[in-house]
Amino acid sequence: MENGLVDYPPNNSTMIEKLGSASNVILIDNYDSFTWNIYQYLALEGASVTVYRNDQITLEELIAKKPTQLVISPGPGHPDTDAGISKAAIKEFSGKIPVFGVCLGHQCMISVFGGKIDVAGEILHGKTSVLNHDGKGVYDGLPPSLDVGRYHSLAGTHSTLPDSLEVSSLTNLEQDAKPIIMGCRHKEFTTEGVQFHPESILTKHGRTMFRNFLKLSGGTWKS
């Protein structure tokens, strides 16, 4: 994580049985310590996960791996310059398999579909905010508002969000400031992203969000 900040997931190591539908999850590591928290949550939920750093595998090699799901990790920097293969992978696999982006991965998703990333108005490293969401996708079955951990200075912009994406969650709804986009979802493809860190100890129900993602199959919501 930026500035060497390391966080750890809640102390819940209960593992469920292996998921046949998540037998080959690929997690792209954008050089971030949180990647291994994500790995742990996915594995605890029964997924078989392989991690590749964003500059250590080509798109052709990634395609040959035939992933069942794709997860793009958080990381420092900007999605257009610091995410390696992440954007190309999202573009390639969206519409084919479920794709989930976290923080920088979420920004990559917005960028791939034509949105812009800009400063969020403040630098957030370990801040808890109240999230309001639509109850769909990774938020299925969760309380309508919950605390999430934020570690970012950039975010997607409302004015440039493409028609293909819908806002799935926001924060700052109780404040005078303009709400910040905390999650987006493709309207057709099973491609979803969150700006906050579901793997952080600051986030409530984070493990359930990964469980909901792993329940997805196919490349579209109608699959």
Asked if residues 107 and 77 have their Cβ atoms less than 8 Å apart, the reply is no
pLDDT score recorded for residue 151: 86
Cα dist from 223 to 95, 134, 187, 190, 217, whole Å: 10, 20, 13, 9, 7
Quote the pLDDT of residue 20.
86
Looking at residue 120, its pLDDT comes to 65
pLDDT top residue among 122 and 206: 206
SS3 of residue 137 by DSSP:
helix
How far apart CA 101 and CA 187 sit, in angstroms, is 15
| Domains of the chain in sequence order | 17-215 (3.40.50.880)
Mean pLDDT of 13-28: 87
* 200 or 19: which leads in pLDDT: 200
| The predicted structure's pLDDT at residue 7 | 40
Distance separating alpha carbons of residues 150 and 38, to the nearest angstrom: 15
Q: What is the mean pLDDT of the chain?
A: 90
Span between the terminal Cα atoms of the chain, in Å:
35
Q: Which residue has the higher pLDDT, 142 or 177?
A: 142
Average pLDDT over residues 115-135: 82
Q: What angle is formed at CA 160 by the lines to CA 158 and CA 161, rounded to 5 degrees?
A: 65
Closest by CA position to 71, among listed 25, 33, 30, 110: 25
* Residues 51-72 pLDDT 10s: 999 999 999 999 999 999 999 9
Active site residues: 103, 197, 199
